[in-house]
């Protein structure tokens, strides 16, 4: 499942492995709550420095991607909330509420659309 990092690339090995683990989680190859290999295990599999593996796990813990349970190992955080996904969901709700409110005011679809488009044009011209 894990690929060996490219040591001659300009990207530090710990960054390469961090990105790999995030990708494995995003694609579902590593499920929430799932345990990652031990430091020694991953160091041996990828033939990389064990201190670098420790650094990867610590950084991912700081980012909330992994949870380190002392004496047990590193686990994929079980309730992973993607801030981006949540942000979009909240925005969707806002737009829904707004459209609903304008309809109650008696505006039709065309009027609402033109209002939104005009506002968008003005907003992004100002920038």
Partner 1 sequence: MVTTIIEAIELRKSYGTHEAVKGIDFWVAEGSICAFLGQNGAGKSSTIKMLLGMTHPSGGSGAIFGHRIDRESDSLLIRQKTAFVAEDKRLYDYMTVEEIIHFTRSFFPTWDSAFERELLQRFDLPRKRKIRQLSKGMRTKLALLLGFARGSHLLILDEPTEGLDPVAIEDVLQIVVSLAAQGRTIFFSSHQIAEVEQIADRVLMINRGEIVLDASMDEVKQEYRHIQAVFPEPVEARDFQLPGIESLQLNGRVASLAVSHNLASITEHVRVMRANSIDVLPLSLKEIFLEKVKARP
Cβ of residue 96: shortest distance to partner 1, in angstroms? 45
Q: Which is nearer to partner 1, 44 or 109 (CB)?
A: 44
Q: Which is nearer to partner 1, 24 or 56 (CB)?
A: 56
Reference 25, options 86, 95, 75; nearest CA is: 75
Cβ of residue 19: shortest distance to partner 1, in angstroms? 14
Q: Which is nearer to partner 1, 43 or 116 (CB)?
A: 43
Q: Which is nearer to partner 1, 12 or 33 (CB)?
A: 12
Distance CA 56, CA 16 (A): 9
Give Cα separations from 126 to 15, 42, 115, 118, 121 (angstroms).
38, 51, 17, 12, 9
Q: Which positions touch partner 1 (CB under 8 A)?
A: 7-14, 39-40, 43-44, 47-53, 55
Cβ of residue 69: shortest distance to partner 1, in angstroms? 19
| Token pair of 45 as six digits | 């599999």
Distance CA 113, CA 116 (A): 5
25's CB contacts (< 8 A; 6+ apart) are 65, 76, 80
Cβ of residue 75: shortest distance to partner 1, in angstroms? 19
């Amino acid at each position: 499942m894990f690929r060996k990092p490219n040591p001659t690339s300009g990207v530090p090995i710990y960054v390469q492995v961090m990105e790999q683990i995030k990708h494995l989680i995003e694609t579902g190859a590593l499920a929430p709550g799932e345990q990652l290999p031990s430091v020694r295990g991953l160091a041996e599999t990828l033939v990389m420095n064990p201190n670098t593996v420790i650094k990867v796990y610590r950084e991912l813990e700081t980012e909330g991607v992994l949870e380190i349970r002392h004496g047990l190992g590193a686990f994929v955080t079980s309730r992973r909330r993607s801030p981006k996904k949540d942000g979009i969901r909240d925005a969707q709700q806002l737009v829904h509420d707004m459209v609903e409110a304008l309809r109650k005011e008696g505006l039709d679809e065309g009027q609402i659309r033109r209002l939104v488009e005009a506002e968008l044009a003005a907003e992004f011209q100002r920038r």
